[in-house]
Structure 1
Amino acid sequence: MPIITVQMLEGRSDEQKKELVEKVTKAVSESVDAPPEKISIIIEEMKKTNYAVAGKRASDQ
């Protein structure tokens, strides 16, 4: 029973998240030979103020 966690910045539409879940499920199912109904996906969205690269927050860019 694969459990996949996707961490990303907030701001994607529900349609984009739906497509992400469908494509990730398919890729994992094909890669590890797991039935789609056994694959769980958790989407964790972060505020841009809580994510930084190279000393700069995403909200400051």
Structure 2
Amino acid sequence: MPFIDVTIGLGRSPEQIRSLIHELTEAAHRSIDAPKENIRVVIREVPETHWAAGDVTIAERRAAR
């Protein structure tokens, strides 16, 4: 049973999240022939102030642009 766990920055619409779930499910189904009913997808949304790389948050990167 494939388990796909995705973490993204907060801010996508419900339609975008739904589309991502669909596309990930389809990709797993096509690539490893997993039955769709056995594929699990979890989307975790993280606020931009809680996600950093190189000690700079996504929010700080956006503000600096």
**TM-score, length-normalised on structure 1?**
0.93
Write the letter of the residue equivalent to 1:38: N
Structure 2 unaligned residues grouped into runs of 5+: none
* 1:29 alignment partner in structure 2: 29
**TM-score, length-normalised on structure 2?**
0.87
Larger radius of gyration: 2
3-state SS of 2:11 partner? coil
* 1:6 alignment partner in structure 2: 6
Name the count of aligned residue pairs: 61
Q: What is the percent sequence identity of the aligned residues?
A: 36
Return the offset for 1:38: 0.7
Return the offset for 1:55: 2.0
* 2:45 alignment partner in structure 1: 45
Q: Which consecutive segments of 4 or more residues in structure 1 shift more than 6 A?
A: none
Structure 1 unaligned residues grouped into runs of 5+: none
Return the offset for 1:53: 1.6
